[in-house]
Amino acid sequence: MHRIGYLLADGFQMMGLANQTVYELANRALGQPFYTVQCHSLQGGLLSPTFGPAIQTRALSARSRADTWMVPGVIDPLGQPADPQLVQRLRQLAPHARRTVGLCTGAFVLADAGLLEGRRATTHWGFADALQRRHPGIAVEPDRLHIVDGPIWTSAGMTAALDLALAMVEKDLGAEVARRVAHSLVMHQQRSGGQSQHSEMLKLAPKSDRIQRVLEHVRGHLAQPLGVEELAEVANLSPRQFSRVFVAETGQSPAKAIEGLRLEAARLMIEKSRHPLEVVARENGFRDRRHLREAFLRGFGVPPRAARSEGRKAG
């Protein structure tokens, strides 16, 4: 049995508890309980989040034990600094755990406890610079979904905690159980820890269903040429109308948007697989590995092999 303990402070962010469903579904996939989950706080009793119902918690003591301690974040870790007593308690408990995890801005609590010193870590992109300034001994990587550095795990903001939880399930129970859990959660894909916090689809943010439909078509046919005429037909517009509407809604030309989606898909494939770069290039619409490398350098500032190496470190 793997015990997961959540360390909560008053005013915690409710999204930090959402990944408990990952462990529930992992138990169901196994057909038997493997994970147990308990919520803790300094005093115990009911604890209120920033929004939503109060949560019943157990009182923390120096003898409290968990295999994994999870520290959810708060909306503003600068305006709501961690309680020194909670920091001290975490410092005492972490050495007895298999893992200690900072979810979103929960990384600030781990940092204040000295658990991130000399380690790689991430947090919500909006507070990454502040974390780095406050704790210069941490190698803060603001553009990562989650990072594993020994027994310390940290995740980016909000939904990235689901990706981290799936990575934990994969580590504990194997890739097949993690895949089944992701499928139950209707997650399009399990994102690797090294993947960027910023999604190309979210960045484009089309305002109409027809352009959204075009982008979904692009993502499903990246290996094909994808000319303007084909995309205009998907949108039920003339090529000239389509190009004008696409730029107006996304702020990018169709060609630039397609390259961004291709690069995002190629990066994920590089990080999560051992496919040769020739295969990665072909399946994502690049002419060859040289074309992929040129686009990768232009888009990410590093060659594909460096991204593969970094993705393996993050995993």
Residues 205 and 177 in one domain: no
- For residue 313, pLDDT beyond 70: no
Structure tokens at 30: 């196994």
Residues 21 and 169 in one domain: yes
The answer to whether the beta carbons of residues 74 and 43 sit under 8 Å apart is no
- What is the pLDDT, as a whole number, of residue 200? 67
- For residue 103, pLDDT beyond 90: yes
Least confident of 21-25, 132-136, 237-241, 272-276: 272-276
* Residue, of 8 and 141, whose pLDDT is higher: 8
- What is the pLDDT, as a whole number, of residue 114? 97
- What is the pLDDT, as a whole number, of residue 252? 92
Residues 172 and 224 in one domain: no
DSSP 81: P
> What is the domain-level CATH number for residue 14?
3.40.50.880
Domain boundary among 184, 207, 237: 184
- For residue 294, pLDDT beyond 60: yes
* Per-residue pLDDT band at 191 (split at 50, 70, 90): low
Q: Residue 151 CB: number of other CB atoms within 10 A? A: 15
pTM, whole model, 2 decimals?
Answer: 0.65
* Per-residue pLDDT band at 196 (split at 50, 70, 90): low
Domain boundary among 152, 184, 216: 184
Least confident of 45-54, 156-165, 181-190, 210-219: 181-190
Percentage above 90 pLDDT, the chain: 72
* Per-residue pLDDT band at 271 (split at 50, 70, 90): confident
User: 217-260 pLDDT, tens per residue?
Assistant: 998 899 999 999 999 999 999 999 999 999 999 999 999 999 99
Domain boundary among 159, 184, 209: 184
User: 26-77 pLDDT, tens per residue?
Assistant: 999 999 999 999 999 999 999 999 999 999 999 998 889 999 999 999 999 9
By residue range, what is the domain housing residue 158? 2-184
Helix axes 20-30, 160-173, angle to 10 degrees: 30
The answer to whether the beta carbons of residues 60 and 39 sit under 8 Å apart is no
The β-bridge partners of 154 are: 102, 147
Residues 147 and 73 in one domain: yes
Give the chain's domain count: 2
* Residue, of 142 and 26, whose pLDDT is higher: 26
Give the Å distances, CA to CA, from 274 to 121, 138, 187, 286, 305: 25, 30, 23, 18, 11
Q: How many angstroms separate the CA atoms of 63 and 210, rounded?
A: 58
> What is the domain-level CATH number for residue 313?
1.10.10.60
What average pLDDT is seen over the chain? 90
- What is the pLDDT, as a whole number, of residue 142? 84
- What is the pLDDT, as a whole number, of residue 201? 64
Residues 303 and 215 in one domain: yes
